[in-house]
Chain A
Amino acid sequence: DAGVIQSPRHEVTEMGQEVTLRCKPISGHDYLFWYRQTMMRGLELLIYFNNNVPIDDSGMPEDRFSAKMPNASFSTLKIQPSEPRDSAVYFCASRFWAANTEAFFGQGTRLTVV
């Protein structure tokens, strides 16, 4: 397996534009997580899914953020409209949840909103 795949790796957009980040989890994993990482706040959990169903979205900062998982092999995180304070690295991770398993992270999407 190629691991968790995120796209794009880098995104620069203007304030007010819509941004869509994409994630392909590892095949067979039943949990998918979206994290945001900044120097100030560290690694924050935004939302996670179990079997394509959102379990906890309490970390989503505002209504401008939305996430979907239409099937087991694809998820999106959308920001509309984007703001400069959304600039961060966004990570997707997946996990097969059994006793004592680890999470696998993608390489992240570095988002810059100007």
Chain B
Amino acid sequence: SQQGEEDPQALSIQEGENATMNCSYKTSINNLQWYRQNSGRGLVHLILIRSNEREKHSGRLRVTLDTSKKSSSLLITASRAADTASYFCATDAEGSQGNLIFGKGTKLSVKP
């Protein structure tokens, strides 16, 4: 069953704008991860946030986690056309035995 649910399903913005994607999940987690998938390629890990962290930064990426609401957000600042891709959240649930549960993803389109 799907653990993470991303919102929105699709997002179209202009280059230079910020892009925000949200993820909701259902169970207690050890960590939450964000992945990126370029068209026709495999998923690539972007950033991991632990359950005891509230915010994490990596370059132009900012991730927040609210465990009380079971939600996370991924912010990409100053977007570029090369950021065009699908973005997935994945949860490492407590007791999951190593299995990551992926959401359905947000398809981001950045127009030059």
B is bound to A: yes
Interface, chain A (partner B; CB < 8 A) = 4, 30-31, 33, 35, 42-43, 45, 48, 50, 55-56, 91, 93, 95, 97, 99-100, 102-108, 110
A33 to B103, CA, bound (A): 16
- Interfacial chain A residues near B103, Cβ < 8 Å: 42
Chain B: minimal CB distance from A70 (Å): 20
CB atoms of A100 and B50 under 8 A apart: yes
- Interfacial chain B residues near A4, Cβ < 8 Å: 42
Chain A: minimal CB distance from B29 (Å): 11
Chain A: minimal CB distance from B44 (Å): 7
Q: Tally of A-B residue pairs with Cβ under 8 A?
A: 60
- Interfacial chain B residues near A43, Cβ < 8 Å: 43, 88, 102, 104-105
Chain B: minimal CB distance from A48 (Å): 6
Main SS class of interface, A: strand
Q: Which of B44-72 contact A (CB under 8 A)?
A: 44-45, 48, 50
Report how many residues on chain B are interfacial, defined by Cβ distance under 8 Å. 24
A68 to B104, CA, bound (A): 27
CB atoms of B98 and A95 under 8 A apart: yes
Chain A: minimal CB distance from B55 (Å): 16
A42 to B43, CA, bound (A): 13
CB atoms of B105 and A103 under 8 A apart: no
Contact of B98 among A31, A35, A91 (CB under 8 A): A31
- Interfacial chain B residues near A42, Cβ < 8 Å: 2, 102-105
Chain A: minimal CB distance from B47 (Å): 9
Residue on B nearest A95 in the bound complex, by CB? B98
Chain B: minimal CB distance from A94 (Å): 10
Residue on A nearest B90 in the bound complex, by CB? A103
Chain B: minimal CB distance from A104 (Å): 7
A2 to B26, CA, bound (A): 35
CB atoms of B98 and A100 under 8 A apart: no
Residue on B nearest A98 in the bound complex, by CB? B98
CB atoms of B99 and A108 under 8 A apart: no
- Interfacial chain B residues near A108, Cβ < 8 Å: 40-42
- Interfacial chain B residues near A106, Cβ < 8 Å: 42
